[in-house]
Structure 1
């Protein structure tokens, strides 16, 4: 039987430490850490048999809740989940419970307001910089190569949705976290050292599943762009690294220039091929397992290797203690 790890947690609600007050009623605390395009999320589930959460303690939408999670035997290591704005409250029963859900504070207004903007003679880095500035965020980005655009339109889209679309198209992750707009290259994150070694013989593994596939794995990508000097449409084919067999992915869209064509094709191949071998694991709680980090898997034969964390969910509950579930892919 796996070891139930004794958790530590801290809940700051509207600027007040309410950890001791709410602990007797806490059924589960669940934090979801997303790598790209989605807001980090929090969910708190409380008992409400005496209806205090429907009256004196009733939360309000818009309340800001900050959460940290730690381990009793490693109290020096805390996972700072961040601050969240409550946007959904659900009561259910019997027995009476309340579920309070929130999204990362910095992905609410004004970042979610829809806008229409014509971006002309610009680049991906300049767009990121402008969006960070108008949303009072600090830009944390390493954009190489920087993609040039003659014109790109933001049509009735939120800044986050618009930027997510461009970054996905040209091979970058984008995330808003604790007053930062973070733009990263998956390949650079994959080069980092592993934060944890997960061994089949290790009792920290509670459950696992692996999936491998050969379908939807592509050896090359074909895309078209306009060459202003030759005044004609040019077809460009980009080969996938390390893939010797498979179909050719054909993109129907047309981009502005060869630089865009190369980066778009590389990104399309990466997005298609990266899930060739993936896994979902639940382990005893580990604050080091966060989205964007790497782990090494051992004891699973041909499935062993280095994996990249796409999503991490940390949960604390009365029944199971502290557990961490990760969605990972082999790199």
Structure 2
């Protein structure tokens, strides 16, 4: 006889395991794992003996650390646990009759200044990674940086909370940001979208699904301007193609910076062009920032980026809702059409170029930078030696004037 499926919850409240005592009051726990906003936890409870509004009343700033466990769910002997992270209580309320309450928390460092304190600072000759590292260190967070480092000539934090300021920089350059378990994680959407799918989902796995595709708010190209330091003139840089053109007021530091900003703007807008909403039993392999393969949905089949996953755990139920965005065939999600000279020719390296950006320019994805290096290895290494380097560090250093072959 097979064992009965079991679900369990652990809830550490201000350092003390509290679920066993709280369970009789809890009607539902909702945990949301998201890409575009902070992760959230919500506790819906009954307050029939009035403990919560009196001795147990929570305080803003209380710390919740929940985890979810499934046992014997798919096969006998199976045990899976999700560590949801650390949450700060930022909202709670009670009502009657009937006597009910809700406690809501958001993923954040224990130091609430990360989201709540406005700061002013000017950053010069920095990088995104350096800025992120300084802010992470300020709140005792470990920085996990999974993207190419990007130079920032000058940027101003003008009466902004550190979380808002850092998120605005990440959005500007097409990077994602997430606070999870005392870690500040920053990643490149195009790299994460290229990951192998963690699961294949078919219609029979879902109790409900809906698909939506819209051209509204999507773009084929972008125009970004920068000021040429030599001529002192404003130069417009076109990324992608004419058609549905995105125009931004953001000023770039250079042509390379303008391309990064434009490509990020297009990618951010186009990520939601085609979306899928799924309701299904719990699948712990579904997590925000990963990818999934949809199969059996007809023309809607394909690879999708997982934008958000919501777990709803009731007394006798457990369901998940997943929001996914489709990744275009053959490229990172929302990538602009390749700009520049195209493939199969040659390109003369300009000041500020690097293989990561050139791969994005010619192929619509930075992931083929290794192909560019391998096709030009002898030239690149010869230039490195000419400039006094022992090697190019596999293409990390390239020099203006080098003629590169662009493989198809």
- Same-fold call, TM > 0.5? yes
Determine the structure 1 residue equivalent to 2:24. 24
Determine which structure has greater relative contact order: mean sequence separation of CA pairs < 8 Å that are 6+ residues apart, divided by chain length: 1
SS in 2 for 1:268: helix
Cα displacement string for residues 240-294 of structure 1 (whole angstroms, at most 9, x for unaligned residues): 7xxxx84222223332211210100100110121211101111111222111111
State the alpha-carbon separation in 2 of the partners of residues 105 and 165 from structure 1: 17
Alignment of 1:36-47 (within 5 A): 36=36, 38-47=37-46
Instruction: Find out whether 1:215 has 2:211 as its counterpart.
Output: no
Distance verdict in 2 for CA 1:274–1:61, change over 3 Å: closer
C-alpha deviation, 1:143, in angstroms: 3.0
Q: Are 1:135 and 2:109 matched, yes or no?
A: no
Evaluate the alpha carbon distance shift between residue 193 and residue 151 of structure 1 in structure 2; reply closer, same or farther with a 3 A threshold: same
Say which of 309, 313, 319 aligns to 1:312. 309
Residue 297 of structure 2 is matched in structure 1 by 300
- Contact 2:41/2:104, CA 8 A, preserved across alignment: yes
State whether structure 2 residue 264 is matched by structure 1 residue 267.
yes
Gaps of 5+ in 2: 328-408
Does the residue aligned with 2:196 lie in a helix, a strand or coil? coil
1:322 aligned to 2:318?
A: yes
Aligned position for 1:33: 33
CA distance in 1, matches of 2:108, 2:230: 48
Match of residue 251 from structure 1: 248
Deviation, 1:142, is: 2.6
Match of 1:51 in 2: 50
Match of 1:123 among 123, 127, 137: 127
Deviation at 1:107, TM superposition (A): 6.5
The Cα shift of 1:49 comes to 1.6
Q: Which one has the largest radius of gyration?
A: 2
Q: SS of the residue aligned with 1:218? A: coil
What SS class does the counterpart of residue 20 from structure 1 fall into?
helix
| Contact 1:5/1:284 (<8 A) preserved | no
1:96-245 aligned at under 5 Å gives the runs: 96-106=99-109, 108-112=111-115, 113-144=117-148, 146-202=149-205, 205-239=206-240
Q: Which aligned runs of 4 or more in structure 1 are off by greater than 3 angstroms?
A: none
Q: CA RMSD in A?
A: 2.0
Corresponding residue number in structure 2 for 1:290: 287
Q: Is the 8 A contact 1:225 1:255 kept in 2?
A: yes
SS at match of 1:127: helix
On the 8 A contact 1:286/1:323 being kept in 2, the answer is: no
Kindly indicate whether residue 62 of structure 2 is the aligned counterpart of residue 83 of structure 1. Answer: no
Partner Cα separation in structure 2 for residue 55 and residue 231 of structure 1: 66
Alignment: residue pair count:
319
Alpha-carbon offset, residue 6 of structure 1: 4.5
**Structure 1 CA distance, aligned partners of 2:109 and 2:251?**
34
Aligned to 1:69: 68
Alpha-carbon distance between aligned partners in 2 of 1:131 and 1:57, rounded to the nearest angstrom: 34
Q: CA offset at residue 105 of structure 1?
A: 4.1
- Decide whether the 8 Å contact of 2:222 with 2:266 is kept in 1: yes
TM-score, normalization by structure 2:
0.74
Residue 35 and residue 147 in structure 1: after superposition, are their counterparts in 2 closer, same or farther (change >3 A)? same
Greater percentage in strand: 1
**Normalising by the residue count of structure 1, what TM-score does the alignment of the two structures yield?**
0.90
SS at match of 1:153: strand
- Looking at structure 2, the residues matched to 277 and 237 of structure 1 have their Cα atoms a distance apart, in angstroms, of 25
